[in-house]
Chains A and B, each alone.
Chain A
Amino acid sequence: MGGQVERWQYLNPGKTLAETLDISHTTLLYVEGVTVSFDGFRALNDLSFYVDVGELRCVIGPNGAGKTTMMDVITGKTRPDAGYVFFGQSINLLELDEPRIAQAGIGRKFQKPTVFEQHQVYENLELAMAGDKRVWPTLTARLSGAQRDRIDEVLGIIGLRDHAWRPAGALSHGQKQWLEIGMLLMQDPLLLLVDEPVAGMTHQEMDRTAELLLSLEGKHSVVVVEHDMDFVRSIAKRVTVLHQGSVLAEGSMDEVQHDPRVVEVYLGE
């Protein structure tokens, strides 16, 4: 796997992946004709899906529609049987492994919040920060003033300034979700993939999360996978409905809500 990445790298000597990104066509992410099978079950079936630069997109669909598998493919966790996944015009994500994809500018928040529980909130953000993540530079790394400011800024965005020095394991469920979004922001990603951000949240926490995600729109492209319809309605401009591994409908919340096929498989239940 490493060999492919290295072979690819010679085309862009001295440039990081993020610098080679070409978004001249205003589309940031291309997922085309992707098929993934697990033991004969087609989790993704000829899925095509595009995300524009700076867009906030919601993805909905019943259980087993392939939402999480789609994220697995984009972040390199699962390799598709067929299809293409490109980041910008030039970066072929299927040739990269997870750390490379993260370095290229794609951040992912998991369904189950995973933060580093033993580390303080501040340290969680420090570890996630964009930068040289090879072994030796990490051993000798020191936080610069600008980096401290950046961590402080993100602490403000996610509303955890008062908790900066607590172990992340001591945070509430909602706070962990925000910390994880904060960790994504520290990576300066162009694309954030957010899997069920409000699962298990109180209504106040949900409102706060909606504000947080809306504040990211424009600066980052954000793809939100969510089950909670009220939440999706509160943030969505464009919604993609997945069903049985492919796109069933795409459009504004109103449009998809009134699409008879969508009503049949999902909203009509």
Chain B
Amino acid sequence: MGIVKALKGDTGGQVMLAVLLVVTLVVPVLNLAVPETSFWHVSTYTVTLLGKYLTYALLAVAVDLVWGYLGILSLGHGAFFALGGYAMGMYLMRQIGDRGVYGDPILPDFMVFLNWKELPWFWNGFDMFWFAALMAILVPGVLAYVFGYLAFRSRVTGVYLSIITQALTYALMLAFFRNEMGFGGNNGLTDFKELLGFDLQSDGTRAGLFMASAAALALGYLACRMIVTSRLGRVAVAIRDAESRTRFIGYRVERVKVAIFAFSAMLAGVAGALYVPQVGIINPGEFSPLNSIELVIWVAVGGRATLYGAVVGALMVNYGKSTFTAMFPEAWLFALGALFVLVTLLLPRGIAGWLPARRAG
């Protein structure tokens, strides 16, 4: 079958998925069924933290697909993640209904505060979950498609492309900071109550979101594996290594790039949509260029062009960040910078490259 074929020879991926499966099944049980006094109890805080890491891991996989296999160093993938997050946030805002501070049955609090009389047109439909879920995938996908179409058609590559992806996320950040945009401005969207009728504060919902994030990561990983093991994946690597040669043997390089780039953006959107209900807030800070750079570091640390390396890198760096920022809050950025320099110098192929024998590409 497709899945078996996609994982053939991918020992790292097999191990990663097996561990993920065990963790996904065991953690909710330890959280919900084991009493809090027990040594084995896993706190809801930890469950949510793990769920958040898993959405980061999915985001890292999306970045590795375009960076590792297609050679596009995107420094703007945080934008697609944030857009997916905003789509979910809009749905969660509308679920609040009249339980907001101002008690308006339709308008979210920030709109009442701004003295708006009616819902902006682009908020229509977001009271339906399916619509919001679709938008969480489509909006990043369409943006990436249009952006990619223009950039790749003009044959913008390398560092220039990286710079304009960075500009893209920065421009979106500035736009979303503005109150007139209708996305809550500076404060973003928060105070969520329910998702599909489930109370977001309850342990059960938290565990459910954690499991959904794990499932999304597994499916996203398998989809990426299917792409990279297909002929299209080999064409992508060919483009990465010798773009003009690929063009001369008859492939429309721009179309391959834009298709994979848009798919990657959609994965990032899914990750963002799962991230927001777990952290309880989405604001323009998620578009910050620094976020997009950080996630490239996760992939570099884990090892490019392995996919499972991206998962490992995202989990390790974020675990490190959580513990490190608790101890030395000021020093984290220095630590992150040092980590990037050290990995580049000492482990150019990341943690995955340092693990025993494995075929590249």
Within 8 Å of chain B (Cβ to Cβ): is A68? no
Distance in angstroms between the alpha carbons of A99 and B250 in the assembled complex:
4
Task: Name the contact of B255 in the complex, choosing from A107, A114, A123, A135 (C-beta under 8 A).
Answer: A135
- Give residues 240-295 of B contacting A (CB, 8 Å): 241-242, 244-253, 255-256, 259
Interface residues in A91-128 by Cβ distance below 8 A to B read: 98-99, 102-103, 107-108, 110, 114-119, 123, 126-128
Chain B residues numbered 179-236 whose CB sits less than 8 Å from any CB in chain A? 227, 230-232, 234-235
B238 at the interface (CB under 8 A from A): yes
Q: List A contacts of B242 (CB < 8 A).
A: 114-117
Query: A103-B250, A133-B252, A134-B252 known; A114 and B245 CB under 8 Å?
Result: yes
Say whether, besides A75-B248, A102-B250, A118-B360, A138 and B241 are in contact (CB < 8 Å): no
* Chain B 314-349 interface mask (CB, 8 Å, partner A; 1/0): 000000000000000000000000000000000000
CB-CB nearest in chain B for A113: B245
Docked Cα-Cα span, A133 to B232, in Å, equals: 9
Contact assessment for B238 and A116 in the assembled complex, using a CB-CB cutoff below 8 Å: yes
Q: A135-B256, A139-B227 are in contact. Are A119 and B249 (CB under 8 A)?
A: no
If the complex has contacts A134-B255, A135-B256, are A119 and B247 also in contact, measured as CB distance less than 8 A? Answer: no
Any chain B CB within 8 A of the CB of A183?
yes
Q: Are A110 and B252 in contact (CB under 8 A)?
A: no
CB distance from A135 to the nearest CB of B (A): 5
Whether A139 contacts B249 in the complex (CB less than 8 A), given A117-B241, A119-B238, comes out as no
Interface of B is mostly: helix
Would B245 and A116 count as touching, CB distance under 8 A? yes
Contact B251 A119 (CB under 8 A): no
List of A residues within 8 angstroms of B360 by Cβ: 118
Cβ of A140 within 8 Å of any chain B Cβ, yes or no, is: yes
Contact A119 B237 (CB under 8 A): yes
Q: Is B35 an interface residue (CB 8 A)?
A: no
Say yes or no: is B120 at the interface (Cβ < 8 Å to chain A).
no
**Which residues of chain A are within 8 angstroms of B238 by Cβ–Cβ distance?**
116, 119, 127
A118-B361, A119-B238 known; A138 and B230 CB under 8 Å? yes
Contact of B234 among A110, A126, A130, A135 (CB under 8 A): A126
Bitwise, A124-167 to B at CB < 8 A (1) or not (0) is: 00111010011100111100000000000000000000000000
Instruction: Contacts A116-B241, A135-B259 given; indicate if A126 touches B248 (C-beta within 8 A).
Output: no
Residues of chain B contacted by A140 (CB below 8 angstroms):
230
Most chain A CB within 10 A, of B230, B231, B235, is at B231
B252 A102 Cβ-Cβ under 8 A? no
B231 and A141 within 8 A (CB): yes
Report A36-83 residues with CB < 8 Å from chain B CB: 75
Q: How far is the CA of A123 from the CA of B252 in the complex (A)?
A: 18
Nearest CB in chain A: distance from B245 CB, A: 4
Measured CB to CB, the nearest residue on chain B to A130 is B250
Inter-subunit contact A135/B231 (CB<8 Å): no
Enumerate chain B residues within 8 angstroms of A107, measured Cβ to Cβ.
Answer: 248-249
Residues on the A chain within 8 Å of B252, using CB: 99, 133-135
How far is it, in angstroms, between the C-alpha of A186 and the C-alpha of B258 when the chains are bound? Answer: 26
A187 at the binding interface (Cβ < 8 Å):
yes
Q: Check B237 against A102 for contact (C-beta < 8 Å).
A: no
Contacts of A138 in B (CB 8 A): 230-232, 235, 251, 256
Q: For residue B245, which residues in chain A have a CB less than 8 angstroms away from its CB?
A: 110, 114-116
Task: Give a binary string over A227-242; 1 marks a CB under 8 Å from any B CB, 0 the rest.
Answer: 0000000000000000
Contacts of B249 in A (CB 8 A): 102, 107, 127-128, 183, 187
Contacts of B227 in A (CB 8 A): 139
Given contacts A126-B231, A127-B238, is CB(A119)–CB(B361) below 8 Å? yes
Bound: A2/B154 CA distance, A? 12
What residue in chain A is nearest B245 (Cβ atoms)? Answer: A114
Q: In the bound complex, what is the Cα–Cα distance between A121 and B299 (angstroms)?
A: 29
- Closest chain B residue to A75, Cβ basis: B248
| Least Cβ–Cβ distance between B320 and chain A, in angstroms | 31
Report the minimal beta-carbon distance from A4 to chain B, rounded to whole angstroms: 14
Q: In angstroms, how far is the closest chain B Cβ from the Cβ of A249?
A: 30
Closest to A103 in B: B250
A103 to B247, CA, bound (A): 10
Minimum CB distance partner of B239 in chain A: A116
Which residues of chain B are within 8 angstroms of A127 by Cβ–Cβ distance? Answer: 231, 234-235, 238, 246, 249
Q: Which residue of A lies closest to B256 (CB)?
A: A135
- Give every chain B residue within 8 A of A133 (Cβ-Cβ): 250-252
Q: Which of A116, A126, A141 has the most CB of B within 10 A?
A: A116
- Of B231, B234, B249, B256, the most chain A CB neighbours within 10 A belong to B249
Contacts of A118 in B (CB 8 A): 237, 241, 360-361
Q: How many angstroms between the C-alpha atoms of A116 and B259 in the bound complex?
A: 21
Q: Give the distance in Å from the alpha carbon of A110 to the alpha carbon of B246 in the complex.
A: 12
Question: Which residue of A has the minimal Cβ distance to B237?
Answer: A118
Contacting pair B247 A99 (CB below 8 A): yes
A126 to B235, CA, bound (A): 10
Q: What are 7 inter-chain pairs, A to B, with CB distance below 8 A? A: A99-B250, A102-B249, A114-B242, A116-B245, A127-B238, A133-B251, A141-B231
Beyond the given pairs A99-B250, A116-B246, A138-B256, 18 more chain A to chain B contacts, judged by CB atoms under 8 angstroms and listed by A's residue number, are: A75-B248, A98-B247, A99-B248, A99-B252, A102-B249, A108-B248, A115-B242, A116-B245, A117-B242, A118-B241, A119-B234, A126-B234, A133-B250, A135-B259, A138-B235, A139-B230, A139-B232, A183-B249
**Interface residues in chain A, defined as those with a beta carbon under 8 Å from any beta carbon in chain B:** 2, 75, 98-99, 102-103, 107-108, 110, 114-119, 123, 126-128, 130, 133-135, 138-141, 183, 187
Q: Which 5 A-B residue pairings sit nearest by Cβ, starting from the closest? A: A102-B250, A118-B361, A139-B232, A141-B231, A138-B232
